Structure 1
């Protein structure tokens, strides 16, 4: 048996707890996101750019949730499967491809939502006398596009095409070339968890992309706060407080989601690639366990988005409330 096949061993948490967590997140995510998609596509009449972004975000969430059972099965059965068995290849390819494409698409859309919400505020103020010429051009003409439904549709389609075009060849190369060169015996092994040079470089680029998305949201939020401080000195601000608070809440929640779910993963990934060098099998097993736990945390965001929609989108919240109110009134209505 290959040394690499026995070098790393999944912990009890990875082989038992992670599969259970993934299945739970899958069920919750599929139910919540299916309901959200149904509301966005059939129950909301006038769709704003934000609703279009959210509909595509839900699609990405559904794909992430559909990949979770593959990932859970891999952690539970991978130590027993043969390395080049059909089930190992299928679970690894479908789980890895679907998970990564959907996560990167959702990150981009979260960034566009942050820009769109910021543009909503700037639309209200780009005509003010205190607004500079630069701000009128930048906010009045450039950011305005992110609020246009047609632009939002084209941008989301473009996002899917670009992410699929970049990630799919990397995953195919990883599955067909890198995995084929491996001399492992078990599906759960060092080669599968670490990847070779190409996939590691792609992983670092992806981590950089996560940091860029976080930077976009962070910049939008603090630019908003800075702008808000400036206009607080102007008149008639009280009339707009509800709009300002709504935009601020949207940006802050998106920022918190990225900090909690994606930031630990993006910080640890480069550290992981540096520390995994060497032949200390016990340390490598610990590092892989941490990586897999943080990956699970990053994918968990897809299952919790419907709760965020209820907190942030008034139209969505009102629609869901009306649906459940009508459903309850139908059940308790007495038969005459």
Structure 2
């Protein structure tokens, strides 16, 4: 058995061939879909709600992730052949890692805020909300009301970008400059894949935040379901069934996205950090492979968001349908 401190990572066909292909496909699909989504949100939707503001910033984060995918693809394709001193290795590692992590955590923040915003949309409906206590007046009358305000949404998104970049940028710089010294000849090496104390602590904090985001969405969803049960006796419930169904569907889809894309990554990260100290080099290779696959899965969510917008947002769906209809009519008239 090799000691883990001198373990030379050997990428499998999954890392050296499959991941570059997957990242390339995700990049193409994601750039096209998110660019189209951003164009629709910015130019074709007149009255923007708070949800549209959050989605606009979510699409921006998605575009950054998709732009980082070629860097990640090149790293897995050529990383084992590059020397660590190679400029391409350092550029790909720094830009890919920075873009991926900043965008991932901005997306998580915004998904959490969208969940709260959709819950706030429900709570503005005055059905049988007998607001009597001081807590209810503050929570329902003031706090949730702000989540529905577009100006508040814009400020929140700016703060999210500032906080995430301010926290992650120093960690990535320290990781790239100080922790990864390039003692190994290859760009694809243990130091770069595992990191050291600071980056591992930051990774665990990030993992905790993923769990917190999931908890926020889960709480919003079950609070909605609980509230829905209470208002079943309301005489106007039939008139609002479509609104309730829409909000419930939004929250459920966000919850599924977090479970499928982010939860495996967040569960495995602490396991990875606890097991990588093993003296078994073969085990370390397997752990790194799994980590990279789950990271790819987490980033894949950015490419699938336009499909989610099409399924969930009526304004987006209607606008896109009208654009396609107009283009078809224009082509037929030219013929």
- TM-score calculated relative to the size of structure 1: 0.96
Cα distance in structure 2, aligned partners of 1:203 and 1:271: 12
CA offsets 1:283-329 (integer angstroms, 9 cap, x no match): 11111100000000000000000000001100000011111111111
- Structure 2 equivalent of residue 214 of structure 1: 214
Partner of 1:314: 314
| Residues 45-97 of structure 1: per-residue CA shift (max 9 Å, x gap) | 00110000000000000000000000010001000000122111100000000
Q: How does 1:40-119 map to 2 (within 5 A)?
A: 40-119=41-120
Give the 3 Å change call, closer, same or farther, for CA 194–233 of structure 1 in structure 2: same
TM-superposed CA distance for 1:334, in Å, is 5.1
**Post-superposition offset of 1:233:** 2.6
1:274–1:44 Cα change, 3 Å: same
Asked if structure 1 preserves the Cα contact closer than 8 Å seen for 2:119 and 2:247, the reply is: yes
Give, in angstroms, the shift of residue 278 of structure 1. 1.7
**For the residues of structure 2 that align with 1:165 and 1:283, how far apart are their CA atoms?**
35
Q: Give the drift of 1:267.
A: 0.4
Change (3 A) 1:37 1:298: same
Structure 1 stretch 278-287 or stretch 87-96: which is displaced more?
Answer: 278-287
Residues in 2 aligned to 1:319 and 1:230: alpha-carbon distance in whole angstroms: 35
Q: Which moved more, 1:270-279 or 1:168-177?
A: 270-279
Deviation track 1:15-68 (CA, whole Å, cap 9, x = no partner) reads 000000000000000000000000000000001100000000000000000000
Matching residue of 1:225: 225
- Secondary structure (helix, strand or coil) at the match of 1:124 reads coil
Distance 1:309 1:334 in 2: 31
SS of alignment partner, residue 54 of structure 1: helix
What does residue 162 of structure 2 align with?
161
Report the counterpart of residue 123 of structure 2 in structure 1. Answer: 122
Match of residue 274 from structure 1: 274
Name structure 2 gaps, 5 residues minimum.
Answer: none
Deviation of 1:4 after TM superposition, in Å, equals 5.7
Q: Does 1:183 align with 2:183?
A: yes
Change beyond 3 A, Cα 1:264–1:3: closer
1:239 paired to 2:246 = no
Change (3 A) 1:288 1:88: same
Aligned equivalents of 1:146 and 1:288: distance in 2?
A: 40
Cα RMSD between the aligned structures? Answer: 1.4
Check if 1:141 corresponds to 2:142. yes
Change in Cα spacing, 1:334 to 1:58, as seen in structure 2 (3 Å) is: closer
Q: Determine if contact 2:128/2:231 at 8 Å carries over to the other structure.
A: no
In 2, Cα distance between equivalents of 1:132 and 1:93: 54
Match of 1:171 in 2: 172
SS class of match (1:130): coil
Moved over 4 A (4+): 2-6
8 Å contact from structure 2 (residues 4, 278) kept in 1? no
CA contact (8 A) 1:82 1:185 kept: yes
Q: Distance in 2 between matches of 1:123 and 1:251?
A: 16
Query: Structure 1: which 5+ runs fail to align?
Result: none
Displacement of 1:102:
0.4
Greater mean deviation of Cα atoms: 2-11 or 258-267: 2-11
SS at match of 2:277: coil
Shift of 1:254: 0.4
Quick check: 2:4–2:281 contact (8 Å CA) kept in 1? no
CA offset at residue 6 of structure 1?
5.5
- Map of 2:250 onto structure 1: 250
